[in-house]
Copies of this chain bind each other. A is one copy, B any other.
Amino acid sequence: MLTPPAAAHALLFASGEPLERKRVALLLGIKETEIGLVLKALTDSLKGSGVAVIETETDVELRTASEAALIVKKFRENELARDLGKASLETLAVIAYQAGATRGEIDWVRGVNSSASVRTLLMRGLIEGREDEHDRRRIRYYLTTEALAHLGIKSAADLPRAGELSAAAAAIKREETIQATE
């Protein structure tokens, strides 16, 4: 069994965003008047741990500690300066040659899970996601105009062997649609 501060820690960690104090209390099954004590205990237990609790009057959030600012900055810079690597290049290639590909389609064409790569590409401004016109839960991915400019092309049609590679990728993509509807 988790202590209330540990349970609050898990909740805040999984949320990623600020949570209302009263919502945390509700989820923990404690009174709103008790939440202050629980968060105080969590704050104390996280002292010097690299991660800290940020509280406002209404909300509470987990963040990297201010002492960690330097190493986190280094990490972010490293993240952006790194080579894309095989997985992200492949993912970008699928999106480049198949504009509007969905996560499911990218996974299918690559045969592996692409969530981390998609996230990296989004963060680096190389792709953007747009809701499908017909099905809002579906996100379709496209190269950003910046990415096209960086590649020195106006559209996907200017990519090397555009016709051939797009057609081959489209053929594989169709399999996914068939599988998904089965």
Which residue numbers of A lie inside 8 Å of B, CB to CB? 1-3, 5-11, 13-18, 27-28, 45, 48-51, 62, 64-65, 67-68, 71-72, 74-76, 78, 107-108, 111-113, 115-116, 119, 122-125, 128-129, 146
Contacts and interface: CB of A to CB of B under 8 A. Distances in A.
Contacts of A111: 119, 122-123
Contacts of A13: 13, 50-51, 62, 64
B2 A68 contact: yes
Secondary structure at chain A's binding surface: helix, strand, loop or mixed?
helix
Given A6-B50, A11-B71, A107 B123 contact: yes
A109 B136 CA distance: 22
A78 B27 contact: yes
A10 B49 CA distance: 8
Total copies of this chain within the assembly: 2
A115 B18 CA distance: 12
A115 B125 contact: yes
A119 to B, nearest CB: 6
A1 B75 CA distance: 17
B107 A7 contact: no
A65 B14 CA distance: 10
Contacts of A67: 1-2, 6
16 contacts: A2-B50, A2-B71, A6-B50, A6-B65, A6-B68, A10-B50, A11-B68, A11-B71, A13-B64, A14-B68, A17-B116, A27-B71, A28-B71, A112-B123, A113-B125, A113-B146
